[in-house]
Structure 1
Amino acid sequence: MHAYRSHTCAELTKSNVGDSVRLSGWVHRIRDHGGVLFIDLRDHYGMTQVLCDPDSAVFSEVEKLRSEWCIRIDGEVKARDESLVNPKIPTGEIEVFIRDVEVLGSAKELPLIVFGDQEYPEETRLRYRYLDLRREAMQENMKLRSDVVASIRRRMWDIGFREYQTPIITASSPEGARDFLVPSRLHPGKFYALPQAPQQFKQLIMVSGFDKYFQIAPCFRDEDPRADRSPTDFYQLDMEMSFVEQQDVFDTIQPVIKGLFEEFGGGKAVDEEWEQISYRDAALWYGTDKPDLRNPIKMQDVSEHFRGSGFAIFAKLLEQDGTEIRAIPAPTGGSRKFCDRMNAFAQKEGLPGMGYIFWRDQGDGMEAAGPLAKNIGPERTEAIREQLGLGVGDAAFFLGGKPAAFERVAGKARVTIGEELGLTDENRFAFAWIVDFPMYEADEESGEIDFSHNPFSMPQGGIEALEGDPLKVLGYQYDLSCNGYELVSGAIRNHKLETMIKAFELAGYDEAEVRKRFGGMVGAFQYGAPPHGGCAAGIDRIVMLLADEQNIREVIMFPMNQRAEDLMMNAPSEPASDQLMELGLRVLPREE
């Protein structure tokens, strides 16, 4: 017999009754039933009930066992009484009588309990991640992640892509986040960077004549953490194609993503048709470029109904350039109690409040209620109701000013209204392509122009489009949103050197700097670069959605905490003095 096991803890069935078997695993739970000890023995594959009575020669040894001890047992498979069968597990029809036991690894008192669904502080869970990962939910999440990655690879190979690896140590690149820098020992004073994405390399692969590339790529960005973003590293499905337009990329990646969600989505509906929404419309309708379309609410511009009205706050606001009034419809939200609750929500978000109108039945007709309705009068109120398509029992909320100042709160309010009124379809994955992103944005304080998205994107209209107002230039850039998260980001690339140099020039990079920082790309584009484009899909975020988790750390094997620290491995740590000397570095104390 094998030294540790003849079967896993998920394999034994009624057909094994009478067999002598050997199992190894962890003591999941111990129960004492009148002197008979029942142990749920767990391994990666499942659970088997093993037991020992006082007549056994090893009873005294079994009595010493504690939770999470790693053990090996030899025993005989017996059928459970019909009344004791557990249909919830594959081994529920049998149990194993222990004849011999060996402790493979004892355990100290546990800092967190593996059995059950107890909640523990994140610090405890991450410090003892190897214990946290033993819990059933975490085991399932990690298996799901592995299965998703395997499925991605199969799907990409099936549609003609090959996987190629790109360097992990490279040069710094403007991808929109801070680089992790790596000092060079052989070149004192110079630094490599960990790649924020394989962006330049995958474009160079296209220039090298490879038609279709993909990679399950590790990416490194020194970012502030969020619930849906790791502060240090993440994995993405990276892909690129030659001789394609924007729609070709959509038609290629959409079946891959759709297939994943159908395969692993737990039976939730997956949209057949995926809308294409301009960035401008997404901001207007949803207050974000990653809208949750499970919520049917669309915001609308209702400025004309308040211009010159009796509601002085909005009327005066609209006299300023660049301002507007936006309405958030709230079907079935027509009660003063709900309106007051949303007004309090706005105040918590830092706004003075949210104006509202709600419509109620007065027996002989419909009445508009609320402070706004009284101030602007019945004619304007009725025009707003008709524009928004609302009726008795409905409400509308209003925010005003420059969109940049209130859009985020408006988008958040839309989500909250949809959830509180039960309008959001929780049993659905709703996808939308967001297109026509602006190439550039202006710094609010300095007015300086910078890239708003991927700097290597082709401007719509080519180099001619770069001759006018940079803030009006749109790029062939696109994101895929699902249920309020950005899952995919990509672009048709700028493969013409003169257009690339002009695009960077508008963002403050002169030609000499472009040639210095992107020498590989500059050189390659002089030797017959093909039109090409692609995208990257965030694997961590995809798995988070499929696992129905709210925090990305639940689907990453060994994540950092909110302060970008690995509590288990004690990273980041201080380097030894000889390491610093070898690199020619000195750490200066930070000024308080």
Structure 2
Amino acid sequence: MYRTHNCGELGLKDIGIEVILSGWIQKIRNLGSLLFIDIRDYFGITQLIISKKLMKENTFLGKEFLIKIKGKVVKRLSKNYNIPTGEIEILVSHIDLLNPSLSTPFTIENETDGNEEIRMIYRYLDIRRNIMKKNLMIRHNLTMEIRNFLSDNGFLEIETPMLINYTPEGARSFVVPSRIHPNQFYALAQSPQLFKQLLMIGGIDKYFQIVKCFRDEDSRSDRQIEFTQIDCEMSFVEVYDVLKFFEYFIKHIFKKIRNIKLDSFPSISYSDAIKMYGTDTPDIRFDMSFLEFNNLVKTKNINFLKTQELVIGIQIKKCYNIHDNDKMNSFLKTTKNKNFFWIKYSYNKTLFFSKKNFLNKEIIKIFVQHFKASPGDLLFFSYGEKKETREKLGKIRLKIADLLNLNNSKIFKPLWIKDLPLLEWEDKSNKYKSVHHPFTSPKEEDIHFLKKNPKNVRSQSYDLIINGIEIGSGSIRIHNKNIQNLIFKHLGLSQKEIESKFGFFLKAFEYGVPPHGGIAFGLDRLVNLLEGNKNIKNFIAFPKNNYGKDMMTNAPYFLEKEKLKELHLR
């Protein structure tokens, strides 16, 4: 028997009983005649008392050595109320060394001295830290809650293939050579998109899957080349039905996991998001939406600005004290000569401004009066070409929010972004590409644009943005074969390519396709957001680094010539 109890459950109720515990040595304190050891397992930590005489009978012990002990539970004199077992300790009568340990490359503590790279190389040691173990427990609890909630609401969990035929879905696919079929390849699924639509055609009413997906693109702090998706699809639904149910879903998750009650989710169109915030993933924990000034600068004849394609600005209210915001002062200095200018209205009613070559007191007063600015306000402006101007001011908006601590990680503000463009032109390839994916349905009122002006077509799509992070993305799907064929042609696919890549899918359209739609949420991002973290790797047991490398197993790696030959690659 390796244990009668675990290292996290013993307390005052157990005083006097004989126990057997097994675990790793967390700490050793040598007081001469007595040795105090903290032993740790998955469940917690228990303090041991070992006599010098007993130690003489045993080999040297060190941190992370794995031991098994037998002893009596006694009352602890110096109590530790920071751990559940802090009122007792074990008077050890027998000790066995199960396995020794090398000196670890970093400390197995919450506040470790190991950097991310070394902790990824020795991930199994990193997982021993309480903070990592807790992260994996949180992910497990979230996954179970999701699974139970969707099951209770009529969703059927169904697995779909990971080895599929290559289809253009937007991102690059990983490909897998076939040994049995020379010079032919599988692709690792970027998502279960086609299969979940086929399930709807097969008469499944509501489907979900917590599934691994693969995309051959650059990793970063909020993205991995293999990631986990909460994939959902529903038959006989419109946009309203999907948004209503999954708002309910997200509210339930936040309440159950974090005891946070979310307000109703507002929604805005993609075009309004770009106009108001310069991005399709706006953070609405703080306001600072854009105001346009083209009419004002023309009316007031502000020569330099009236020739610009777009002039926009934001107002940050009651935020600025020139005497105690060094970070803001430093930031404002870096914005010179970059198609920006700013006006700060200090609390002593003095006006400060940049761009002194074209701004004067008269122009400044025009803007201050237009904003109805008060002392303490900061006004920030951007001008130039429309797209670039909005993007730049959007980044400035986020930077200012960061400097002023407006992006509180304990506040959550969800927002639906709807009606994204169906297609966008790509100059490099000289053809259209899907903004979402090729199976997204156009809005009914825009279908007449589809043949001659496809760039004007909006889609029945929706993204869920929480605190500036895309958490979910979905759409109503095309259920009309002619429209699906037309989309494929706009994407530059020949009839032969359509047949070879999607023939099986289009064939299914001939057997009665129900109206259907769905959404997929990034599980890694969701748990990361819920816990206010900034790196999804902290909630993945064995993640890749930002270059897609597994630092522990050293994947990807070279294949031997014989293996390449077997796969018909040499």
Q: What is the CA distance between 1:426 and its match in structure 2?
A: 3.5
Task: Name the structure 2 match of 1:427.
Answer: 410
Give yes or no for contact 2:304–2:358 (8 Å, CA) kept in 1: no
Aligned AA for 1:324?
Answer: L
Give yes or no for contact 1:270–1:429 (8 Å, CA) kept in 2: no
Give yes or no for contact 2:18–2:70 (8 Å, CA) kept in 1: yes
**Would the alpha carbon gap of residues 328 and 61 (structure 1) be closer, same or farther in structure 2, given more than 3 Å must change?**
farther
Task: Name the structure 2 match of 1:21.
Answer: 19
TM-score (norm 1): 0.91
Q: Does 1:248 align with 2:234?
A: no
1:75 aligned to 71, 74, 77, which one? Answer: 71
Aligned AA for 2:382?
Answer: L
Task: Name the structure 1 match of 2:481.
Answer: 497
Distance across 1 between alignment mates of 2:372 and 2:28 = 61
Q: What is the CA distance between 1:141 and its match in structure 2?
A: 0.4
Distance across 1 between alignment mates of 2:443 and 2:165 = 28
RMSD value, Cα: 2.2
Q: Does 1:585 align with 2:569?
A: yes
Task: Name the structure 2 match of 1:343.
Answer: 332
Q: What is the CA distance between 1:417 and its match in structure 2?
A: 1.1
What's the secondary structure of 1:526's corresponding residue? helix
The number of aligned residues is 566
Distance across 2 between alignment mates of 1:270 and 1:304 = 42
Percentage of identical aligned residues? 36
Distance across 1 between alignment mates of 2:148 and 2:453 = 45
Q: What is the CA distance between 1:390 and its match in structure 2?
A: 3.0
Give yes or no for contact 2:238–2:476 (8 Å, CA) kept in 1: yes
**Would the alpha carbon gap of residues 445 and 327 (structure 1) be closer, same or farther in structure 2, given more than 3 Å must change?**
farther
Distance across 1 between alignment mates of 2:408 and 2:455 = 36
Q: Does 1:305 align with 2:283?
A: no
Distance across 1 between alignment mates of 2:419 and 2:5 = 57
Q: Does 1:124 align with 2:118?
A: yes
Q: What is the CA distance between 1:11 and its match in structure 2?
A: 0.8
| Worse overlay, 71-80 or 385-394 | 385-394
What's the secondary structure of 1:518's corresponding residue? helix
Q: What is the CA distance between 1:341 and its match in structure 2?
A: 2.8
2:311 aligned to 325, 344, 359, which one? Answer: 325
Give yes or no for contact 2:321–2:347 (8 Å, CA) kept in 1: no
Distance across 2 between alignment mates of 1:389 and 1:155 = 49
Task: Name the structure 1 match of 2:95.
Answer: 101
Pairwise mapping of residues 173-184 of structure 1 onto structure 2 (< 5 A)?
173-184=167-178
State the Cα deviation string for residues 255-284 of structure 1 (Å, max 9, x = none): 22222122223x5x4432111011112122
Distance across 2 between alignment mates of 1:471 and 1:379 = 43
Aligned AA for 1:198?
Answer: P
1:291 aligned to 282, 285, 300, which one? Answer: 282
What's the secondary structure of 1:196's corresponding residue? coil
TM-score (norm 2): 0.94
Q: Does 1:38 align with 2:36?
A: yes
Q: Does 1:482 align with 2:453?
A: no
**Would the alpha carbon gap of residues 373 and 408 (structure 1) be closer, same or farther in structure 2, given more than 3 Å must change?**
same
Q: What is the CA distance between 1:374 and its match in structure 2?
A: 8.6
Task: Name the structure 2 match of 1:4.
Answer: 2
Aligned AA for 1:343?
Answer: L
Q: What is the CA distance between 1:342 and its match in structure 2?
A: 3.1
What's the secondary structure of 2:273's corresponding residue? helix
Give yes or no for contact 1:270–1:428 (8 Å, CA) kept in 2: no
Task: Name the structure 2 match of 1:275.
Answer: 266
Task: Name the structure 1 match of 2:149.
Answer: 155
Aligned AA for 2:478?
Answer: N
Unaligned runs of 5+ in 2: none
Pairwise mapping of residues 229-248 of structure 1 onto structure 2 (< 5 A)?
229-230=223-224, 232-248=225-241
Q: Does 1:213 align with 2:207?
A: yes
Q: What is the CA distance between 1:553 and its match in structure 2?
A: 0.8
Aligned AA for 1:315?
Answer: K
State the Cα deviation string for residues 511-549 of structure 1 (Å, max 9, x = none): 332222112210111110000000000000011112221
Task: Name the structure 2 match of 1:589.
Answer: none
Task: Name the structure 1 match of 2:198.
Answer: 204
